[in-house]
């Protein structure tokens, strides 16, 4: 409703500035109380001030996030090291000469990143798939996708799929603009089909003064700095440490006496995942399970700007931490003694009760490690140390659903050794493959099927249900074929042999006839006792052409002589005509009776069988039966290349191995 100017002047004089007048879009006057609005603003400002005071009093060190692991993966000569150097230079304004081991940088006020170059051997790729938070796939645009990229795709699918970003390099090798556009579209479409629709893909066109272009690195770095990381369920449920520094603290006198003695080592790194309690065992990838001799929390060598007190210290020296690359500004004195002035230290009490929190920089001391670990240490392959719970220490039988990878050329044979990676561990075992038939019976098969999955039973460290695992044939790095053999998931586990006892193997029991009659024949070498014959009574048997059944145990006949001929016939036969008809077969029965007897004792395991037609003495008699497979308890941590299969032994020895 409208209002004229005279009315408006009278209203404005009436309220004397206490009320504020306002005209809306409908030309209507709206009047509200100015004093009440001022009081609301004052209350809002007071609440904001109180909230700011609470935020300032909050302890920021407790919520200091752990550095996110950015893994740079790709085939050789694709530009992984150059990409890490360019990103480190963007974040820290420092130049790296060598990329070795984890490199920690501060990317923002509340975020740190730890760059790791993924090795191309199977061991390093398996471990990298377990601790990566973000994977940068480096792809040579002039060549396309290579074998290592697809292998790592499968490893990520099994051990949990983190965030993935694609990076196309060597675009300057494609000179034609039209071909460059088509190549980008083709690789982008293929990359999104392999990962997921909408996966990010960045382009690195060329080098500038030995580094990638600044604007291209800027776009990639800014995207990494603001992206959201989704933690994986396995990582959040288990503590683990990615070692960025390694020391051998074995006494020199002990090494001088025996240079192959077990070593004492110290490892440094950020704790990730869940809390690490004292007394927890750890699994060192490639070495085995070990108890922790000593664990200590140290000062963070690469603190966030909000948590670090940098008075008198150059900020550039604290922006990155790369001990294996020779760039670190902090040394820990192992012989130093620290004295606490307060006896009631709440922080120490808290760590004793609930363990060390994620994000703490730890020093782990482990004793009696094999000397090969210190001898063959490679800074380019970071060490993964995973915490083991009491349930993970159990060993038993596991039933899994397994499918051979379609790119693996050879079939996997039953009881051929394979290397399984499940959880933190990778170990070698000899599985038994089976399929379920219509009668709810597990039928053992000699090898994995072509294009479908099967069941696999093997012995090893128990893993939780629905845990994914990957199987490789061997760990040798000189194999040109696709190295991922199979993938699967754990369905059931037990410490008893119940799972293996369910598997039945189809086999043939072979026997030979002692003598042949019209439609019956005594069969030997098929059974070992008379009790076994009673078990298989009326069982189906067959030769190459004739079918039959097992009837009964064959007993020797009583003997008597007729006319001094020495023929043996049955005393139960009363009819003389019937006896005369059997005179021609008496010699055969005598031979059978002598074969049944073994000296004065009777031989067991000879069955009387009936057939549809008469068989010959040269025929082989078969009976198909189901037998339980034997137990198999031979698995262990794979610390080397692993044992060879029967086929590999045949090729190496050039012999026939049964």
544 inside domain: yes
pLDDT at residue number 73: 94
CA nearest neighbour of 124 among 143, 152, 147, 104: 152
CATH code for the domain of 93: 3.40.50.300
Least confident window among 20-29, 395-404, 455-464, 518-527: 20-29
68 and 88 in a single domain? The answer is: yes
DSSP secondary structure code for residue 280 in this structure: -
Give domain status of residue 345, yes or no: no
pLDDT at 33 over 70: no
Are 594 and 470 in contact by the 8 Å Cβ rule? The answer is no
Predicted pLDDT of residue 572: 43
In a domain, 348, yes or no: no
Task: Taking each helix axis as running N to C, give the angle between helix 122-131 and helix 147-159, from 0 to 180 degrees, rounded to the nearest 10.
Answer: 40
Of residues 398 and 352, more confidence is placed in: 398
**pLDDT for res 556:** 66
Stronger pLDDT, 443 or 44, i.e. the higher one = 443
Structural domain of 212: 64-230
Report yes or no on 431 lying in a domain: yes
Q: What is the pLDDT of residue 232?
A: 86
Please count the CA atoms within 13 angstroms of the CA of 347 that sit on its side-chain side.
9
* Residue 13, in any domain of the structure: yes
Contacts of 56 (CB under 8 A, 6+ apart): none
Q: What is the band of 568 on the pLDDT scale with cuts at 50, 70, 90? A: very low
Can you point out the beta strands (E) in 437-483? 442-444, 454-461, 468-472
51-55, 315-319, 358-362: which has the highest mean pLDDT? 358-362
Do 92 and 124 fall within a single domain?
Answer: yes
Average of per-residue pLDDT across 2-30: 46
Check whether 23 has a pLDDT greater than 90.
no
For the chain, what percent of residues have pLDDT higher than 70? 71
22 and 9 part of one domain: yes
Q: Do 473 and 518 fall within a single domain?
A: no
Looking at residue 313, its pLDDT comes to 38
Any idea what the CATH number is for the domain that residue 546 is in?
Answer: 2.40.10
**Cβ neighbours of residue 526 under 8 Å, at least 6 residues apart?**
509, 510, 511, 541, 605, 607, 621, 623
Q: At 644, which CATH number?
A: 2.40.30.10
Q: Which residue has the tokens 């120490």?
A: 348
Instruction: Determine the average pLDDT of the residues in 400-421.
Output: 91
What pLDDT is stored for residue 17 in this prediction? 47
Q: Print the SS3 string covering 161-174.
A: CCEEEEEEECHHHC
| pLDDT for the residue 15 | 43
The pLDDT value given to residue 209: 84
pLDDT above 50 (res 54): no
The 8 Å CB, 24+ separation contacts for 21-29 are 27/2, 27/3, 28/1, 28/2, 28/3, 29/3
Mean pLDDT of 577-606: 59
Give mean pLDDT, residues 222-241.
Answer: 90
Q: Quick check: is 613 in a domain?
A: yes
Q: Are residues 462 and 583 in the same domain?
A: no
Claim to verify: residue 188 and residue 267 sit in the same structural domain: no
pLDDT in tens, 104-151: 998 888 889 999 999 988 999 999 999 999 999 999 998 989 999 999
Q: Tell me, what's the pLDDT at 412?
A: 92
Average pLDDT over every residue of 180-205 = 90
Same-domain pairing of 538 and 562: no
Average pLDDT, the chain: 78
Same domain for 518 and 617, yes or no, is: yes
Co-location of 43 and 128 in the same domain: no
Checking if the pLDDT of 538 tops 60, the result is: yes
**Better-predicted residue by pLDDT, 613 or 506:** 613
Has residue 58 got a pLDDT over 50? Answer: no
Within a domain: residue 103? yes
Residue 654: predicted pLDDT: 59
Q: What is the pLDDT of residues 447-469, one digit of tens each?
A: 999 889 999 999 999 998 999 99
Helix (H) or strand (E) run with residue 622 in it:
strand 621-628
**DSSP state, residue 139:** E
Residues 584 and 445 reside in one and the same domain: no
Beta strands, E only, 192-291 = 200-203, 207-208, 211-212, 240-248, 263-272, 281-284, 288-290
Residues in the chain: 658
Higher pLDDT: 284 or 651? It is 284
Highest mean pLDDT among 275-284, 439-448, 632-641: 275-284
Q: Are residues 70 and 217 in the same domain?
A: yes
pLDDT at residue 228 tops 80: yes
Report the distance separating Cα 196 and Cα 67, nearest Å: 26
Report pLDDT for 530.
86
pLDDT digits (tens, 9 = 90+) for 66-100: 999 999 999 999 999 999 999 999 998 888 888 88
pLDDT at residue 59 tops 50: no
Segment 199-212 shows an average pLDDT of 88
* Structural domain includes residue 334: no
Residues 516 and 471 occupy one common structural domain? no
Residue 518 CB partners (closer than 8 Å, separation 6+): 614
Q: What is the pLDDT of residue 154?
A: 92
Does the structure show a pLDDT above 70 at 559? Answer: no
Q: Would you put residue 653 in left (φ > 0), alpha (ψ -120 to 50) or beta?
A: alpha
Residue 257 has pLDDT above 50, yes or no: yes
| 308-351 confidence digits (pLDDT tens) | 554 433 455 447 788 877 665 544 455 555 454 555 555 556 66
Domain total in the chain: 6
Residue 595: pLDDT band (50, 70, 90) is low
């Amino acid at each position: 409703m409208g209002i004229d100017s005279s009315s408006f002047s009278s209203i404005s004089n009436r309220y004397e500035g206490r009320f504020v007048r306002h005209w809306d879009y409908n030309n209507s006057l709206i009047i509200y109380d100015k004093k009440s609005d001022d009081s609301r603003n004052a209350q809002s400002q007071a609440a904001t001030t109180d909230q700011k005071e609470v935020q300032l009093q909050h302890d920021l060190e407790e919520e200091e996030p752990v550095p996110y692991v950015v893994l740079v993966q790709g085939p050789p000569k694709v530009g992984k090291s150059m990409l890490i150097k360019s990103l480190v230079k963007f974040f820290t304004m420092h130049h790296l000469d060598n990329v070795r081991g984890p490199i920690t940088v501060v990317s923002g006020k509340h975020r740190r990143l730890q760059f790791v170059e993924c090795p191309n051997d199977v061991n390093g790729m398996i471990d990298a798939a377990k601790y990566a938070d973000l994977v940068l796939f480096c792809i040579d645009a002039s060549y396309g996708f290579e074998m290592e990229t697809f292998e790592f795709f499968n490893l990520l699918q099994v051990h949990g799929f983190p965030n993935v970003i694609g990076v196309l390099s060597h675009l300057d090798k494609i000179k034609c603009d039209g071909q460059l556009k088509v190549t980008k579209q083709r690789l982008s479409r293929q990359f999104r089909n392999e990962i997921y629709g909408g996966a990010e893909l960045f382009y690195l066109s060329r080098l500038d003064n030995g580094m990638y272009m600044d604007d291209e690195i800027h776009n990639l770095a800014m995207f990494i700095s603001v992206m959201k990381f989704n933690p994986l369920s396995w990582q959040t449920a288990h503590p683990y440490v990615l070692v960025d520094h390694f020391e051998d603290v074995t006494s020199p006198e002990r090494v001088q006496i025996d240079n192959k003695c077990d070593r004492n080592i110290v490892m440094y790194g950020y704790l990730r995942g869940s809390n690490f309690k004292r007394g927890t065992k750890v699994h060192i990838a490639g070495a085995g399970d070990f108890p922790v001799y000593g664990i200590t929390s140290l000062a963070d060598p690469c603190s966030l700007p909000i948590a670090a007190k940098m008075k008198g210290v150059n900020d550039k020296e604290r922006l990155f931490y790369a001990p294996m690359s020779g760039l670190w500004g902090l040394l820990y004195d192992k012989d130093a003694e620290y004295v606490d002035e307060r006896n009631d230290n709440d922080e120490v009490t808290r760590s004793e009760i609930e363990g060390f929190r994620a994000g703490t920089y730890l020093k782990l001391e482990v004793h009696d490690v094999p000397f090969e670990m210190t001898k063959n240490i490679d800074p380019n392959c970071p060490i993964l140390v995973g915490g083991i719970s009491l349930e993970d220490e159990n060993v038993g039988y596991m039933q899994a659903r397994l499918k051979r990878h379609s790119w693996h050329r050879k079939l996997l044979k039953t009881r051929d050794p394979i290397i399984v990676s499940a959880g933190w561990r990778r170990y070698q075992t000899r599985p038994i493959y089976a399929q379920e038939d219509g009668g709810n019976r597990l039928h053992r098969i000699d090898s994995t099927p072509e294009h479908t999955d099967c069941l696999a039973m093997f012995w090893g460290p128990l893993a939780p249900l629905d845990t994914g695992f990957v199987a490789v044939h061997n760990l040798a790095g000189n194999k040109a074929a696709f190295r991922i053999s199979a993938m699967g998931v754990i369905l059931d586990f037990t410490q008893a042999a119940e799972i293996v006892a369910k598997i039945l193997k189809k086999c043939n029991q072979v026997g030979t006839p002692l003598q042949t009659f019209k439609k019956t024949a005594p069969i030997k070498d098929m059974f070992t006792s008379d009790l076994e014959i009673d078990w298989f009574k009326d069982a189906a048997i067959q030769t190459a052409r004739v079918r039959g059944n097992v009837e009964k145990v064959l007993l020797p006949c009583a003997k008597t002589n007729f006319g001094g001929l020495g023929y043996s016939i049955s005393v139960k036969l009363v009819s003389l005509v019937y006896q005369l008809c059997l005179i021609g077969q008496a010699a055969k029965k005598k031979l059978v009776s002598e074969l049944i007897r073994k000296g004065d004792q009777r031989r067991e395991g000879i069955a009387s069988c009936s057939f549809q037609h008469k068989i010959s003495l040269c025929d082989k008699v078969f009976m198909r039966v189901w037998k339980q497979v034997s137990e198999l308890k031979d698995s262990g941590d794979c610390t080397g290349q692993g044992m060879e299969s029967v086929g590999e032994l045949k090729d190496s020895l050039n012999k026939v191995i049964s």
